[in-house]
Amino acid sequence: MTRLSEVYPPDRVVLREVGLRDGLQMVRRHPSTAAKADWLRRESSAGVRHFEIGSFLPAMAMPQFADVREIIDICQRLDVHSAALVLNDRGAADAVQTPVGEIVTVVSATEEHSQANARRSRKDAIALVGRTVEMARNSETLPLVQAGISMAFGCSIAGEVDPDEVVRIAAACADAGADIIGLADTVGFAGPDQVQDLVECVKNELGDVALSIHLHDTRGMGVANASAALDAGIRVIDGSLAGLGGCPFAPGATGNVVFEDLIYLCERKGFATGIDLEKLMSAREIAASEMPDEHLRGALARAGAPRQISWHAQQSTG
């Protein structure tokens, strides 16, 4: 069994909680390191095994991620899979010096967003994927490398995005050696049919390459789009506790699909997640106390989880 299939078994749904990275990009206040550790402990105790926990960016620019190395070490002790974002060679070089389980790189689907987000062309961003892969494969810890394609379903700067262009970029990232390709609805433009169509196009072009999907709920379509992704064969889906999140370089971007609601969707569709919803919901207390100015969303938080769903999650193996 390869490391990729150990981390992301192709026959099981994996839900990744990205609240500690994407969820903190635009907050007014951010949790302390101790609060982040409690967040991780509570969610791992509930059965969450995959987290995106920060970015290797200058602390001056993103102080909320200044403790990324400490958080990676906490993940190590909890025996959960950690992923962290890098946007340049320096970040990738720093990341491979840590025991992080996965390095996330970003390639924009549009040239306009690529320049706004990272001040580089898409060609240069794909080249960074290749260099990051090389660093990862020459490191002692051998982290996975994910290439996330932002604005894959529409761009708030450039508008419509040609699906063929997304397929081309996905193929280029796979050729560069990325272990997993992510399709991101960065500003919440997508609908279920569009999600299903694009996933099928990428799968037809790339074959068995591992795919994930990252959804934002800007227009209330997050859960419906996640359902369409599952129907199209996606088995790795991102969500954020309480729907926290947004992108400072994507006008109009708001929070991610609510992680708790995503778990409920999967269980209702017959995919065992191994996550206890009642235990998971307690992590919202940390977000509420550490970031009182942030709006915490979620249908499960509002209506509650049916008891049989919590029982099923406790009994499942993943």
Residue 224 in 3-state DSSP?
A: helix
Residue 51 in 3-state DSSP?
A: strand
Which residue spans within 191-255 are E strands per DSSP? Answer: 210-215, 236-239
DSSP letter at 290?
H
Cβ-based neighbours of 123, under 8 Å, separated by 6 or more: none
Q: How many CB atoms are located within 10 Å of the residue 220 CB?
A: 8
- Among 75, 155, 173, 247, the one annotated catalytic: 247
For CA atoms 143, 144, 147, 148, give the dihedral sign: negative
Q: What is the dihedral of CA 313, 302, 295, 42, to 10 degrees?
A: -30
CA proximity to 215, closest of 278, 262, 160: 262
Amino acid (1-letter code) at residue 257: V
Cβ-based neighbours of 34, under 8 Å, separated by 6 or more: none
DSSP letter at 255?
P
Name the β-bridge partners of 82. 51
Residue 192, exposed/middle/buried by CB under 10 A (0-12, 13-18, 19+)? middle
- CB-based contact 260:298 (threshold 8 Å): yes
Q: Is 247 a catalytic residue?
A: yes
- CB-based contact 145:190 (threshold 8 Å): no
| Active-site residue set | 247
